[in-house]
Each structure stands twice: as structure tokens, then as C-alpha cells.
Amino acid sequence: MEGQVNAWDSVSPEELLQGGDVTEGVVRSGDTVRRPHSASSERVRSLLIHLERVGFAGAPRYLGVDDRGRDVLTFVDGEVARRPAPEWVASDDRAASVASLLRAYHDAVGSFGMPEVFDDASPIRPEGSPEPFPVPNELIGHRDVTLENVVFRDGIASALIDFDLARPSSRIDDVCNLLQWWAPWQPVEDRPEALADADACARAAMLVDAYDLDAASRSMLVPLARNTAERTWYSMRLRAERDGGGWRRMWDAGVGDAIRRRQEWLRKNQEALTKAVM
Ligand SMILES: Nc1ncnc2c1ncn2[C@@H]1O[C@H](COP(=O)(O)OP(=O)(O)O)[C@@H](O)[C@H]1O
Ligand SMILES: [Mg+2]
């Protein structure tokens, strides 16, 4: 980290950025974003530097560390969904552009390989959690393509933000994550109002086409989504107990029950969903 400390001063005023669940104290300061130092700081730093090096424009740039030890990134200008989600998240064109952006991210991150700094980012395996669906890790996935983690410009997804959960993963894992939020593969009662009427089958078909997902991967999406939901229930419970903070708040707000409802929804709709994405 030599040469980076104190590279950036804190400049008032700072605007608190909201939208996420977990990170407290993300602020905008001028053209920059300041994020508190965290366990993922080093990983995100190396990832963003790689993306810049290969000329991928769809992510913030890493700028350094400020005088308070916070990571400094570029503020990406544009529209980002806040909660409650705006009507525009239901736009098919917008959703398709998120899938294309995810594809471009995967194509850009491939040459990053699996750097050692990601060794400690392996998934947690709490007791009782099922074996992961057998998909080999092939790249550093984003793993959190929520409605709030995409910046739009002129109605098109222009950047992914919030790489805190990035870790060794696969294309199909990220596509599953994309479907969860943007199709959305969730029961109506747990969706944001703006997506209550979305046709999860039709949207999923459109998203995998926009991503240009291969046929073999398509056939794995539903079983993978089910397995991931099951494992997420265990890992979120453990994080709530172990890490507290935003994880605890999400758990106390009922995220565990929502995951259970999602599992049931996936089970009930598995045939239709499988047909739709093939
Ligand atoms: N580099 C950035 N450019 C533009 N907006 C950002 C940037 N980083 C964060 N934001 C805004 O701040 C919100 C929260 O930041 P995020 O990094 O997603 O933290 P969290 O871990 O809490 O989700 C985002 O949803 C977005 O609205
Ligand atoms: Mg976020």
C-alpha cells in the first residue's frame, strides 16, 4: 500500500450514499466515492486495477486510499436504483443491458485469473449447508448484481459497482444471481413493487439470450439457483451471528424467511423456468 496512503484528502461536504444493505459509511465526495476499509479492500483494489488495465469501462476506477484510510474510487455518474426500486427496473431493455454488461465484465475479468489475494474469499460452509452444485471456478465473479449495484446512463447499464462480494466463481453463478434480481426469480410478495408483474420466465429467457449463455449452462441454471438459495440461507445466518452489522439487520428483518419462500417458489416453478431458459 506504499505510496497510496494520504494520496487523497477528505473533502467536505460528503454525501452519504445509500442503497446497499451492508456497507456503512459509503459516501460521495466530489467525483469520488469513499468506502470504509474492509476485509475485501485488497481484493477489490486488485480487481478494479485489472479492469482498468484491460480497458473495461463498466466499473469504477480505483484511485487510492484517503487520509482516513478509506478506499477511494471514481464516482460513476448516472442513475442507480434506490429503494423502493424505481419503475424503470421493469424495462426489458434495461434488464437486457445489465446482462450484456455482465457478459462484458466476464470477458474482461477472465485474464485476471485467480489471484492469491482471493484465496481467503472462499465461500463459508456452515454446518448443515448442502454441498455446492458442482460448477468449477473459472473467473472472479461479481456475485451481487442487485438492482442497486448497476449504474445506468441513457437507459443502458454502464457500470457494475460494489465488488465487495467478488470471489472465485463461474459465469453461470453470476447469471443465476442476475436472474434472481432482474428476472426476478422471486415470489411476488418479496419483489419490489416495480417488478411485481414481471414475467419471470420471459425475462429470464431474454436475460440469458442477452448474455448469450451456452446451452449446457442454461440447463444448469434452475438446479444451481435452488442449491444457491439453500446454501445462502445457511451462510446468511452464519454471517448474521458472526459478523453482525448489516448482516444481522438483514437477518432480523426476515431475510431467512424470504430465502425459504424463494426456495419454495423455485421448486414450484422449476419446470416453467427450465423451459424458459433453454
Ligand atoms: N462508484 C460509485 N459510483 C456511483 N455510485 C456509487 C458508487 N459506489 C456506490 N455508489 C452508490 O452508493 C450505493 C451504496 O454503495 P455500495 O458500494 O453498493 O455499498 P453496499 O455494500 O452498501 O451495497 C450504491 O447503491 C450506489 O447508489
Ligand atoms: Mg451495493
CATH number, position 240: 3.90.1200.10
**Ligand 1 centroid vs 219 CA: distance in angstroms?**
33
Query: What mean pLDDT is reported for the chain?
Result: 94
Q: Is the peptide bond before 84 cis (omega within 30 degrees of 0)?
A: yes
Number of the ligand 1 atom closest to the C-alpha atom of 246? 22
Question: Is 268 inside any structural domain?
Answer: yes
Q: What is the pLDDT of residue 5?
A: 46
The tens digit of pLDDT for each residue in 178-219 reads 999 999 999 999 999 999 999 999 999 999 999 999 999 999
pLDDT tens per residue across span 58-68: 999 999 999 99
Q: Can you give the pLDDT at residue 187? A: 98
Last residue of a domain, one of 74, 107, 141: 74
Q: Check residue 19 and give its pLDDT.
A: 64
The percentage of the chain sitting over the pLDDT mark of 70, rounded to a whole number, equals 96
> Does residue 209 form part of some domain?
yes
Q: Which of 54, 74, 94 is the last residue of a domain?
A: 74
Q: What pLDDT does 124 receive?
A: 79
| 43 and 127 housed in the same domain | no
The answer to whether residue 29 scores a pLDDT higher than 70 is yes
Same domain, 162 and 230: yes
Residues with CB under 6 A from ligand 1: 17, 19-20, 22-23, 26, 33, 60, 73, 75-76, 80, 148-149, 151, 161-162, 164
Reply yes or no on whether the pLDDT at 6 is more than 70. Answer: no
The CA 268 to ligand 2 mean position distance, Å, reads 30
Q: How far is CA 8 from CA 53, 62, 68, in A?
A: 21, 12, 9
Q: Same domain for 60 and 146?
A: no
Query: Rounded to whole angstroms, how far apart are CA atoms 170 and 139?
Result: 6
Q: Is the pLDDT of residue 81 over 90?
A: yes
On whether both 139 and 41 belong to a single domain, the answer is no
184 and 204 together in one domain: yes
Q: Please report the atom of ligand 1 found closest to the CA of residue 148.
A: 25
Band the pLDDT of 1: cuts 50, 70, 90.
Answer: very low
- Do 90 and 131 lie in a common domain? yes
* 203 assigned to some structural domain: yes
Residue 118, in any domain of the structure: yes
Determine, yes or no, domain membership for 21: yes
Q: According to the model, what pLDDT value does residue 121 have?
A: 85
What's the pLDDT band for 157 if we cut at 50, 70, 90? very high
The reply to whether 41 and 101 lie within a common domain is no
Give the Å distance between the CA of 102 and the centre of ligand 1: 17
**Does the residue 30 lie in any domain?**
yes
Q: What's the domain range around 246?
A: 79-277
Q: Are residues 199 and 125 in the same domain?
A: yes
Q: pLDDT confidence of 2, banded at 50, 70, 90?
A: very low
CA of 148, nearest ligand number = 1
Instruction: Measure CA 139 to chain center.
Output: 15
4 in any annotated domain: no
Distance 17 CA to ligand 1 centre (A): 6
Residue to mutate (ligand 1; options 29, 31, 32, 33; most atoms within 8 A of CB): 33
Residue 198 and residue 173 share a domain: yes
pLDDT at 123: 77
**Tens of pLDDT along 242-273?**
989 889 999 999 999 999 999 999 999 999 99
Q: Are residues 124 and 45 in the same domain?
A: no
Give the ligand 1 atom nearest the CA of 23: 22
Boundary residue ending a domain (74, 89, 124): 74
Flag whether 6 is in a domain.
no
Q: How many domains does the chain have?
A: 2
Domain co-membership, 86 together with 70: no
Q: Are residues 83 and 69 part of one domain?
A: no
